[in-house]
Amino acid sequence: MDVQVFIDLQDRLDLESTLREDVKDAIKELNKTCRLASAKLAKAHSVPKSQTREIIDAVAPSFQAIRKCISTLVGLVEPVAFYKYHDMWSNAVQNACALVVFAVYLDHARLATPEDIQEFLGCRVNTENNDIAEFVITLEEYLHALISLFSELSRLAVNSVIVNDIQRPQEISTFASDLYSGFQLLNLKNDSLRRRFDSIKYDIKKIEEVQYDLRVRGLIV
Amino acid sequence: MADLPPATLPDDSGDHQPKKQKFSHINKASNRQQQPADSDQQLENMSSSKREVYTLFTRYRDTLDAHYDQRERVIKCSRDITALSKKIVFSLLRITQESSPESVFKDAESKHKQVLDLFRKISVELQGSDAQKYNRQATPGLQEYIEAIGLWAFLQDNVLISKEQVLERLSVAGPDGVVAPLVSVSDEDYILGISDLPGEVNRYCINSIGKGDHEAVRRCLMFLRQMKEGISLLMCSGTVRDLDKKVSVLDSSLEKTERAYYSMSVRESEMKLCGANSTVVPMAIDA
């Protein structure tokens, strides 16, 4: 038996672990940028709807930075090896998508489409189950991001009452239940998507409670 | 089962009648001439934003379903490959009981043909980027297969199978006549596959002691020591998932084999004292 076989293998593994380190660094940077953007975006909870525009404008440079971080990551990973390392950045990319989804909702009160994600992050969302030849955001990551929106919405419903906007919870409720009905169409397996899907109902409940409080006091009809 | 056929029974049309009326009533209310199908009707009644969500998520559902189904098929096929590879391993281990090794290899060869059929099946699911996407589901079968043909190579030629040899074994002529491997084998698949070998080599070793084949025992010990040396090298890089678990199996296999060789040597020495003929070759470590 020749030990050379193992030495060759070791060389290849070493190369791989160097790449892993680089990817890890890129992800660390991405996470940092996302946290900053998230802090800026969270201010939308404390202002009336009329002022959200300024917050969206203020957060725009952060999205530029996130986009740059992702392009660094894209440059590191060869498309062939995409799924090999995919688990490493999946969470970070989910967070970035969730920021886009929230920003689009604040700005336009609508659901961010895969096209929106691509526009903000410069990376295509793969909504098909097919062969890929480029770095993509997976459908699961996009759906995870949409689920993250529910907790933001339930917070927003409460906070809009605080800033004296008692119409908004109604709007939020309609939007959230429409989106939830979409998720109910999916045949989910027993994975993380399923577990997070199961938690949506608690956010829906919170939004409904706000509406109940307003209605029972005759503040809305 | 008996409830299914009524869809074609004549009295069924009567059942549908009230439903149709209900539809036309809704249509009238929404000023529509056309009578839409069930799901279209559902869509008509939705607000535009809800309709958009419905359309999008129906598409997402199809994508996810296709993905889950494909993953399921890979898991099933991988499991079949594992089962058949295990059978090859057991046939090969019967080598100590058979009079001629050729019959054992012939039996293994016929099973190997069946495994290749399974690989043909799984290769459909593992084209392009899917190879990596479903690697985690496919790798258990592939590892077991590498273990089986690795044991084979060890028994037949006393060598550690190389990754190239694995790929060669997996190669068949395609429709265009080009011989190519059915599936790709990553370094990780290969490493994890061969690191399952020690357990089987140890089994063969113990069987050989029973048969008094001392040369085989010596070969096993040599092989395991070199495996240990090689795998230890790989452990330094430390990026292969699940390798450490297999290394502990390797260690215990090596120890068992060493103890077996030891007690065999002791007994041989006793025999020699008694004047019997010795067949043990003193172990040369770096031979």
CA-nearest residue of chain B to A10? B234
Is it the case that residue A103 has pLDDT exceeding 70? yes
Identify all chain B residues contacting A82, using CB atoms and an 8 Å cutoff: 129, 132
Identify all chain A residues contacting B126, using CB atoms and an 8 Å cutoff: none
Q: Is B264 in the same domain as B149? A: no
Summarised one tens digit per residue, pLDDT across range B42-56 is 667 778 888 889 999
The alpha-carbon gap from B134 to the nearest alpha carbon of chain A, in Å, equals 9
Summarised one tens digit per residue, pLDDT across range B120-152 is 999 999 998 999 999 999 999 999 999 999 999
Identify all chain B residues contacting A136, using CB atoms and an 8 Å cutoff: none
Q: Is B145 in the same domain as B201? A: no
Out of A7, A17, A129, closest to residue B233 by CB = A7
Q: What are phi and psi of B186, to 5 degrees?
A: -85, 165
Domain count across chain B: 2
Q: Which residue has the tokens 């479903």?
A: B134
CATH number at residue B283: 1.20.58
Out of A10, A16, A139, closest to residue B63 by CB = A139
Q: What does the pLDDT average to over A95-108?
A: 96
CA-nearest residue of chain B to A132? B129
Q: What are phi and psi of B242, to 5 degrees?
A: 70, 5
The alpha-carbon gap from A36 to the nearest alpha carbon of chain B, in Å, equals 30
Q: Where are the beta strands (DSSP E) in chain A?
A: 125-126, 137-138
Q: What is the structure's pLDDT at B20?
A: 40
Residue numbers of the domain that contains B220: 197-235+244-287
Confidence of residue A84 (pLDDT cuts 50, 70, 90): very high
CA-nearest residue of chain A to B223? A1
Q: Report percent pLDDT > 70 for chain A.
A: 99
Q: Is B225 in the same domain as B155? A: no
Q: Enter the tokens of residue A208.
A: 């409904």
Q: Enter the tokens of residue B248.
A: 């502990």
The torsion region of residue A164 among left (phi > 0), alpha (psi -120 to 50) and beta comes to left
**A55 burial class (0-12, 13-18, 19+ CB within 10 angstroms)?**
buried
Nearest CA to B280 among B225, B212, B211, B206?
A: B212
Q: Is B72 in the same domain as B155? A: yes
Are residues A10 and B236 in contact, defined by beta-carbon separation less than 8 angstroms?
yes
Is it the case that residue A98 has pLDDT exceeding 90? yes
Inspect the interface and report whether the beta carbons of A182 and B53 lie closer than 8 Å: yes
Pairwise CA distance, residues B44 & B93, whole Å: 67
- The answer to whether the predicted template modeling score (pTM) of the entire model surpasses 0.95 is no
Q: Enter the tokens of residue B77.
A: 């096929």
Out of B54, B60, B239, closest to residue A20 by CB = B239
Inspect the interface and report whether the beta carbons of A187 and B227 lie closer than 8 Å: no
Inspect the interface and report whether the beta carbons of A3 and B68 lie closer than 8 Å: no
Q: Is B69 in the same domain as B190? A: yes
Are residues B64 and A186 in contact, defined by beta-carbon separation less than 8 angstroms?
yes
Q: What is the CB neighbour count within 10 angstroms for residue A69?
A: 22
Pairwise CA distance, residues B200 & B149, whole Å: 12
Q: What is the structure's pLDDT at B260?
A: 87
Chains A, B: CB pairs < 8 Å: 112
**Interface-testing mutation among B129, B158, B197, B228, with chain A (most A C-beta atoms within 10 A):** B129
Pairwise CA distance, residues B204 & B81, whole Å: 22
Q: In DSSP terms, which residues pair with A55 in a beta bridge?
A: none
Identify all chain A residues contacting B162, using CB atoms and an 8 Å cutoff: 5
Q: What is the structure's pLDDT at B33?
A: 41
Q: Which amino acid is at B121?
A: K
Nearest CA to A33 among A73, A80, A2, A4?
A: A73
- B100 within some domain: yes
Are residues A204 and A150 in contact, defined by beta-carbon separation less than 8 angstroms?
yes
Pairwise CA distance, residues A159 & A41, whole Å: 14
Q: In DSSP terms, which residues pair with B80 in a beta bridge?
A: none
Q: What is the structure's pLDDT at B40?
A: 65
Q: What is the pLDDT of chain B when averaged over all its residues?
A: 82
Tally of CA atoms within 13 A in the half-sphere of B57 that contains its CB: 22
Pairwise CA distance, residues A15 & A20, whole Å: 9
Q: Is B161 in the same domain as B209? A: no
Q: Is B169 in the same domain as B202? A: no
Q: Is B223 in the same domain as B165? A: no
Q: What is the structure's pLDDT at B283?
A: 57
CA dihedral (B28, B32, B34, B35) in degrees, to 10, reads -50
CATH number at residue B161: 1.20.58.190
Q: What is the structure's pLDDT at B236?
A: 78
Q: Is B89 in the same domain as B103? A: yes
**Interface-testing mutation among A3, A83, A192, with chain B (most B C-beta atoms within 10 A):** A83
Residues (pLDDT < 50) of chain B are: 1-36, 278, 286-287
Summarised one tens digit per residue, pLDDT across range A14-44 is 888 899 999 999 999 999 999 999 999 999 9
Q: What is the structure's pLDDT at B34?
A: 43
Identify all chain A residues contacting B132, using CB atoms and an 8 Å cutoff: 80-84
Are residues B115 and B144 in contact, defined by beta-carbon separation less than 8 angstroms?
no
By mean pLDDT, which of A48-57, A138-147, B143-152, B211-220 is the weakest? B211-220
Q: Is B165 in the same domain as B250? A: no
Out of A13, A83, A174, closest to residue B129 by CB = A83
What's the CATH number of domain A4-216, 3.90.79.10, 1.20.58.2140, 1.10.10.10, 1.10.1370.10?
1.20.58.2140
The alpha-carbon gap from A120 to the nearest alpha carbon of chain B, in Å, equals 20
Pairwise CA distance, residues A168 & A165, whole Å: 6
